[in-house]
C-alpha cells in the first residue's frame, strides 16, 4: 500500500481541535518540525500532547505552545523552554510529569495493546503517591493534583501501576522510509520516535529520504510500516535543516 501523502499540509489536515498527539523527538533531535509547522498553519487548538519535552522557545512543539494551541502535556522534561515553564506555573496548561523510562514504556505498551503494567520506578515519590501539581491555580495554589496510584508487591518489592498511552495521532521524523511506511531512524534521532509512532492510531512520518519498497534492508528497519499510516517526503532543504538547542561560540 502506498502511504505517501503529497504534502505535510494534507497529512495533518484532519487533526481537529481537542486531538491528542504523540510526538517524537528529544531536545531538537529527531523532531518532526515540518509536520509541526504544518499543524500550526492548519490552526488546530486545544491539543493534548505526549512527548518527552515540549520543544524549545520558538522551535518544535514550542511553536504550538507559544500560540496557546496546547492545553495538556504528558512528558518528562521541561528543559530550557521558558514559555513552557511560564504557562505551567501560571495555570495556563496542564502537565503530567512522568519518569522518562516510564513514559517510554507507556507509549510502547499502548502501541502493543497492553493497557497497564507495574514498575518500581517512582515508588515512594509523588509520582506514585499522588500530589504532583498537574495544574496550578492563578493564585499559585494547586488546582489539579495527580491522584495516587495502585501499589502492588512483586518479589518483595513494591511496584506502581502505570497505564499505557494511545493517542489520536502521532507525528514522527525518520531518516529513511519507504512507501509502505517502514522507517529507519538515524542514531540519537531514534529516541522517542518509534515509541510515539506505535502509540498513535494514525501515525504520520516525515522522512528525509524516501525509497521504494524493498530498498531497505529488512534487518535494518527500526519501525515496521504496520504502525505508520501516512508518509511525507521532505525536500532536500527541509531534510537538511537542523536546529541548534544551545549555540556556543569561543574566540580564537
pLDDT digits (tens, 9 = 90+) for 153-164: 999 999 999 999
Q: How many domains does the chain divide into? A: 1
For residue 195, pLDDT beyond 80: yes
Per-residue pLDDT of 107-118, as tens digits, reads 999 999 999 999
Residue 207 within any structural domain of the chain: yes
Q: Tell me, yes or no, whether 158 lies in a domain.
A: no
Q: Is residue 70 part of a domain?
A: yes
Residues spanned by the domain of 35: 8-115+164-239
In a domain? residue 123: no
Q: Which residue has the cell 514550542?
A: 62
91 within a domain of the structure (yes/no)? yes
**Total residues belonging to the chain:** 252
- 243: confidence class by pLDDT, cuts 50, 70, 90: confident
Per residue in 57-71, pLDDT (tens digit) is: 888 999 999 999 999
Give the closest residue to 29 by CA, choosing from 144, 154, 138, 185: 185
Please check the confidence at residue 78 and state whether its pLDDT lies above 80.
yes
Residue 71: per-residue pLDDT: 97
Query: What are the distances in angstroms from CA 71 to CA 49, 93, 108, 126?
Result: 8, 5, 23, 22
Is there a contact between 146 and 132 (Cβ–Cβ < 8 Å)?
A: yes
Report the SS3 class of residue 171.
strand
Does the residue 104 lie in any domain? Answer: yes
- pLDDT tier at 245 (50, 70, 90 boundaries)? low
Domain contains 108? yes
Mean pLDDT in residue range 129-146: 95
For residue 183, what is the domain's CATH number? 3.40.1080.10
Write down the H helix ranges in the chain.
8-11, 33-42, 62-66, 82-89, 100-112, 126-129, 193-199, 236-240
- The answer to whether the pTM exceeds 0.95 is no
Cell of 187: 542514531
In a domain, 121, yes or no: no
pLDDT of 214 above 90: yes
What is the residue-averaged pLDDT of the chain?
95
Amino acid at each position: 500500500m502506498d502511504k505517501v501523502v503529497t504534502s505535510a499540509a494534507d497529512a495533518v489536515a484532519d487533526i481537529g481541535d481537542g486531538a491528542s498527539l504523540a510526538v517524537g523527538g528529544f531536545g531538537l533531535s529527531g523532531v518532526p518540525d515540518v509536520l509541526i509547522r504544518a499543524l500550526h498553519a492548519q490552526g488546530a487548538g486545544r491539543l493534548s500532547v505526549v512527548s518527552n519535552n515540549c520543544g524549545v522557545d520558538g522551535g518544535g512543539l514550542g511553536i504550538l505552545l507559544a500560540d496557546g494551541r496546547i492545553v495538556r502535556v504528558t512528558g518528562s522534561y521541561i528543559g530550557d523552554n521558558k514559555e513552557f515553564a511560564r504557562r505551567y506555573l501560571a495555570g495556563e496548561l496542564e502537565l503530567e510529569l512522568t519518569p522518562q523510562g516510564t513514559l517510554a514504556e507507556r507509549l510502547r505498551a499502548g502501541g502493543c495493546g497492553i493497557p497497564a503494567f507495574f514498575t518500581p520506578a517512582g515508588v515512594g515519590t509523588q509520582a506514585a503517591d499522588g500530589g504532583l501539581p498537574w495544574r496550578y491555580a492563578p493564585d499559585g495554589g494547586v488546582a489539579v493534583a495527580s491522584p495516587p496510584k495502585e501499589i502492588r508487591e512483586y518479589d518483595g518489592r513494591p511496584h506502581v501501576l502505570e497505564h499505557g498511552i494511545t493517542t489520536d495521532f502521532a507525528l514522527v521524523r525518520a531518516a529513511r522510509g519507504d512507501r509502505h511506511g517502514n522507517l529507519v531512524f538515524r542514531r540519537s534521532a531514534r529516541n522517542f520516535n518509534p515509541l510515539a509512532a506505535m502509540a498513535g492510531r494514525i501515525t504520520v512520518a516525515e522522512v528525509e529520504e524516501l525509497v521504494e519498497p524493498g530498498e531497505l534492508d529488512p534487518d535494518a528497519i527500526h519501525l515496521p510500516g504496520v504502525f505508520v499510516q501516512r508518509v511525507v517526503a521532505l525536500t532536500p532543504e527541509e531534510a537538511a535543516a537542523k536546529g541548534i538547542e544551545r549555540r556556543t561560540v569561543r574566540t580564537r
